[in-house]
Structure 1
Amino acid sequence: MTQFLLRVVICLVVISFLSQMTLYFLPDYPLRNYFAKAFNVDHERNIPTLYSFLALLFSSVLLGVIAHAKKLDSGRYQHHWKILSFIFLYLSLDEIGQLHEKLIEPTRSLLNATGFLYLTWIVPMGILVVIFIFSYSKFLLHLPASIKKLFVVACALYVGGAIGMEIPGGYLIYTTGMENLSYVIVATIEEALEMLGIVVFIHALISYIKVYLGGVSWNIYIQGKHTPVTEHQNIGIAALANPQTESY
């Protein structure tokens, strides 16, 4: 799964960057602008946006599976897993609907911000990230060392892209606009970091399910159109090893 997602991310980032380069260095050709827009990682409602939406939604589902398993086992921090699931559900909806952009104007007016600081959704998001880190510090410390490291790396990549790279990106928009090579490079790095962060996070969640929850399996019910025969297909995530006896 991780290798597949990494290949998808690399392909999307490379195609996006190359398609943007054609706008600056190649003469016009049929569907050039359409192709560049369809694969631009910095645009909405295109192929990279759909991928990011699905990746975030898949993360929410995995977190929901862990939360449900913790509830059945009366495990610790079951509510933390559940809240994380809802957070990633919101992030997936934000990715497809750009909900955070609705914070720009109210926060800009509140802070009386001008210039490149129009990207003032960074302020409320930054505050929420700090609150989240403090609220989840004990939760993070209780995790197994390998999973903890993956969570930290995933968070650093995602937040570094989503918030950190918005600052130079916003400055470039204010000083030179979006139609230049410097902004394309910064925006590509920003989106690449976000997507890589989610890949690492998904890898951490699947590893946690495999090793510490003993795997998860479910059934898919399939019924033919013209036959009463019912088929059952079992799709499971097999455990890499016997489930750890210690409760995490």
Structure 2
Amino acid sequence: MNSAEGGAAHIPAFSLSPYRFPIRLLLVACALGVAYVVAQKINPYGIEPGRSEASRLLFELFDLNGENNVPTWFTSMVWAMAAGLAMVASRREFSPDAHRRLSWSLLGGVFLLLSLDEVGSLHERLLGLAGDTIKRSLGLADSFYYSWAPMGMLLVLLVAGLFVPFLLRIPRGVAARLILAGGVFLSGSLAIETIGSSYEAGLIASTDVFRISWHRLIFVEEVLEMIGAILAVHALLWSLALSPAAVASPEPSMLTSAPKQPAHG
């Protein structure tokens, strides 16, 4: 009989710093942003006449608005990491509050959907039809170039309302970090996207003070989305580094200083 049958796999423990590891992810995100700018300069949008095939491939590889390339894989990986950490938080929940354990799992599910959305553009495919209906019913047909945007806003409000009780039950430092991560992510995925919608629809135009271009909007939007995902990882690592006493109580006195963290990672 195989000795592994009926047993359990033992995975060596490892530790990640709530600060150093996210900073490393942030440096990667900055490098991808720079790579996009460089590729854009070499061959704008990858279609500039007379440019080499190598420059076109370079742009496609680092196009922040593209699919199946390095920035997409990176952002999807970060969200998947956040989903895994949320599941770990659910398993290690010290509080007997079943609502908190379930909420951590649901948060992990949201992060997993965001990871899948990065590689599959689910929001455009699944929310587009519903968005068209909402735009027509509210008379917003000319206000959004992207039909999924109105539906996305409603979905964000629904999810935010669903997690308000959970955010009030967890330590305030963790809740504040999760709210910051969501705010940064949404400022890119919805706020900048809405500006891009209005720009594409011709409702706003570039001025001498605010020079709007598709290239700049894409850069800001995608970088903010990457930073939002990284901040979510930071929030979850910070939560997992808290002591059992701090996790069990949302009182601000428990969170006057950052949790002690291991030297690794």
TM-score range, shorter chain: 0.7 to 0.9
Task: State yes or no: 1:38 paired with 2:58.
Answer: no
Deviation string, structure 1 residues 42-85 (Cα, Å, up to 9, x no partner): 11111100011111111100001111122x76345111111111
Displacement of 1:14: 1.2
Aligned partners of 1:104 and 1:121 also within 8 Å: yes
Offset of 1:3 from its aligned partner?
Answer: 1.5
Contact 2:130 2:148 in 1 (8 A): no
Listed as ranges, the gaps of 5+ residues in structure 1 are 215-237, 242-248
Matches within 5 A, 1:87-98: 87-98=110-121
Tell me what 1:230 maps to.
none
The one-letter amino acid of 2:154's match is I
Contact 2:36–2:64 (CA under 8 A) maintained in structure 1: yes
- 1:104 is matched with 128
What is the match of residue 169 of structure 1? Answer: 196
* Residue of structure 1 equivalent to 2:38: 18
Q: Which has the higher strand share?
A: 1
2:96 to 64, 74, 78: 74
- Trace 1:57-206 onto structure 2 (pairs within 5 A): 57-70=80-93, 74-76=96-98, 77-102=100-125, 103-112=127-136, 114-115=141-142, 117-175=144-202, 182-206=213-237
| In structure 1, distance between residues paired with 2:54 and 2:201 | 29
Query: 1:144: how far off?
Result: 2.2
Counterpart contact for 1:40–1:48, Cα < 8 Å: yes
Superposed, which structure 2 residues align to 1:201-212 within 5 Å? 201-212=232-243
Over the aligned positions, Cα root-mean-square deviation in angstroms equals 2.7
Q: Which runs of 5+ in 2 are unaligned?
A: 1-20, 204-210, 246-258
Q: How does 1:221-236 map to 2 (within 5 A)?
A: none
Q: 1:93 to 1:213 in 2, by over 3 A?
A: farther
Cα contact 1:108–1:118 (8 A) shared by 2: no
Identity across the alignment (%): 23
What are the superposed Cα offsets for residues 119-164 of structure 1, whole Å, 9 maximum, x if unpaired? 1212222112112222222221233232222112111100111111
The yes-or-no answer on 1:8 pairing with 2:37 is no
Encode CA deviations 1:167-201: one digit per residue, 9 max, x unaligned.
1112233349xxx9811101110011111011111
How many residues matched? 214
CA distance in 1, matches of 2:37, 2:80: 25
Which moves more between the two structures, 144-153 or 194-203?
144-153
